[in-house]
């Protein structure tokens, strides 16, 4: 097959299977952490937010970090887009334990929205987010990488 046909098969054929398998694993997880990165560049066609999810998979006894989806949005709608996107995938919004973002101006407002949601009556769990500060994607990644190197 040529590159266009392979891309078509992957995008409209195999991707649905792998997405469904990932969603089943996420739905079985007790909790998960989200990482988002909003960007505006030529590739992302302005205003794309990539959503990465990290969860513990009991069956394989492994920590999984996977690309979940991309959404187009501006800073004012990130919270709503995240909530709607996860709900449409059947992933419980109330199971979030940590939110990692990149971009301090958006982080502060977004974290406040999450904190308000987790303390409201709409959230049955009344959990709290683990706050590790601004730009947590890089902080947590680099801390993990350093620990991994030290442990061999």
Positive or negative torsion for Cα 84, 57, 121, 110: negative
Mean pLDDT of 72-100: 78
In this structure, is residue 10 part of a structural domain? Answer: no
Burial of 148 (0-12, 13-18, 19+ CB in 10 A): exposed
Q: Which domain holds residue 140?
A: 29-151
Residue with tokens 């904190």: 115
* Nearest to 45, CA basis, from 84, 71, 77, 78: 71
Positive or negative torsion for Cα 78, 126, 100, 12: negative
In this structure, is residue 60 part of a structural domain? Answer: yes
Q: What is the pLDDT of residue 24?
A: 92
In this structure, is residue 69 part of a structural domain? Answer: yes
Q: What is the pLDDT of residue 121?
A: 67
Q: What is the pLDDT of residue 46?
A: 54
Find the CATH number of the domain harbouring 70. 3.30.420
The answer to whether the CB of 40 falls within 8 A of the CB of 104 is: no
In this structure, is residue 11 part of a structural domain? Answer: no
In this structure, is residue 53 part of a structural domain? Answer: yes
CA 124 to chain centre: 21
Domain count of the fold of the chain = 1
Q: What is the pLDDT of residue 25?
A: 92
Q: What is the pLDDT of residues 89-139, one digit of tens each?
A: 888 877 877 777 665 556 677 777 777 777 776 666 666 666 665 555 566
In this structure, is residue 102 part of a structural domain? Answer: yes
In this structure, is residue 145 part of a structural domain? Answer: yes
Residue with tokens 């959404």: 71
Q: Enumerate residues 6+ apart whose C-beta is below 8 A from 7.
A: none
In this structure, is residue 17 part of a structural domain? Answer: no
């Amino acid at each position: 097959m040529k590159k266009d046909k392979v891309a078509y098969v992957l995008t409209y054929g195999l991707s649905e299977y792998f997405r469904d398998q990932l969603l089943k694993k996420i739905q079985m997880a007790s909790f998960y952490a989200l990482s988002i990165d909003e960007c505006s560049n030529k590739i992302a066609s302005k205003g794309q937010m990539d959503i990465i999810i990290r969860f513990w998979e009991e069956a394989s006894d492994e920590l999984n970090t996977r690309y979940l989806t991309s959404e187009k949005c501006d800073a004012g709608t990130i919270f709503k887009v995240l909530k709607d996107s996860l709900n449409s995938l059947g992933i419980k919004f109330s199971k979030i334990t940590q939110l990692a973002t990149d971009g301090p101006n958006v982080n502060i407002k977004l974290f406040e929205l999450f904190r308000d949601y987790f303390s409201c009556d709409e959230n049955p769990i009344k959990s709290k987010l683990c706050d590790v500060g601004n730009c947590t994607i890089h902080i947590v990644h680099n801390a993990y990488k350093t620990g991994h190197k030290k442990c061999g």
